[in-house]
Amino acid sequence: MTALSVNLNKIAVLRNSRGGGEPDVVRAGHACLDAGAHGLTVHPRPDGRHIRADDVIALAALCQARGVEFNIEGNPFAPARTGYPGLHALCREARPAQVTLVPDDDGQLTSDHGFDFFRDGAALQPLVAAFKALGCRVSVFANIGDARIDQAAVIGADRVELYTGPYAQAHTAGHTAQALSATAATARQAQAAGLAVNAGHDLNQRNLPDFLRNVPGVREVSIGHALIGEALYAGLDATVRAYRRIVDART
């Protein structure tokens, strides 16, 4: 089964652009879950540009009450500062089912690459252990085609999340065969190492069906930007239900 986790960051971007509490990220979370999302994802950044620490705690309570998965993404190396207690401190308070470690710089617009496990593996290993000690499943962001992706298992991760931006670009250009082949090979390599496979970034209703048909055993897709953009036209409930039909068709 492929689970659909809806990333709520863009709801918070809209709220923060005006100030105040609208649109309400918790209300949006309820709407997504009511429409069939299997869980919710957030990526709080140290600069507070969208999801904030207080949102994380409120959404953690929502997911716990609804009995669904909460996934917190973030850079485990980013230090704490005013308004941002650090990823581990947030997870210690929120206790998400899953934490996804992502190598984002502070000023980075969006996640656009996975970890270099040769360079970062030794530093990541104790951090992975610290998150697992909180009871979190740990996923690490990884590049398609990374020949060392099996090192994610060596450092203790449970899953990898494949960065699907290059696949989405290939799909837009109409040349998906090579990208799908590379993605499927990377997924199989990770699975052979004992890792489960998640996927995310630039996935949408047009490219997701081909992706799930060709990449084996994807456990979860995390979708935010495209889903919220599509919801501006079709509505949030209808859009989440449309994604559920896609993932359910590949179950």
Q: Active site includes 22?
A: no
The continuous run of DSSP H or E covering 99 comes out as strand 98-101
Q: Active site includes 73?
A: yes
Q: Which residue has the tokens 């005013």?
A: 82
Contacts of residue 247, defined as CB under 8 A and 6 or more positions apart, other chains included, come to: 2, 3, 4, 208, 212, 221
Catalytic residue among 38, 69, 73, 220: 73
Catalytic residue among 69, 171, 201, 220: 201
Contacts of residue 235, defined as CB under 8 A and 6 or more positions apart, other chains included, come to: none
Contacts of residue 128, defined as CB under 8 A and 6 or more positions apart, other chains included, come to: 101, 138, 140, 155, 156, 157
Residue 159 φ/ψ, nearest 5 degrees:
-140, 165
Please tell me the distance from the alpha carbon of residue 202 to that of residue 63, in angstroms, as a whole number: 24
Neighbouring C-alpha atoms within 13 Å toward the C-beta of 199: 29
Question: 139 in the Ramachandran plot: left (φ > 0), alpha (ψ -120 to 50) or beta?
Answer: beta
The continuous run of DSSP H or E covering 90 comes out as helix 87-94
Catalytic residue among 38, 43, 50, 171: 43
Entry field: residues in the chain? 251
The residues assigned a catalytic role are: 43, 73, 201
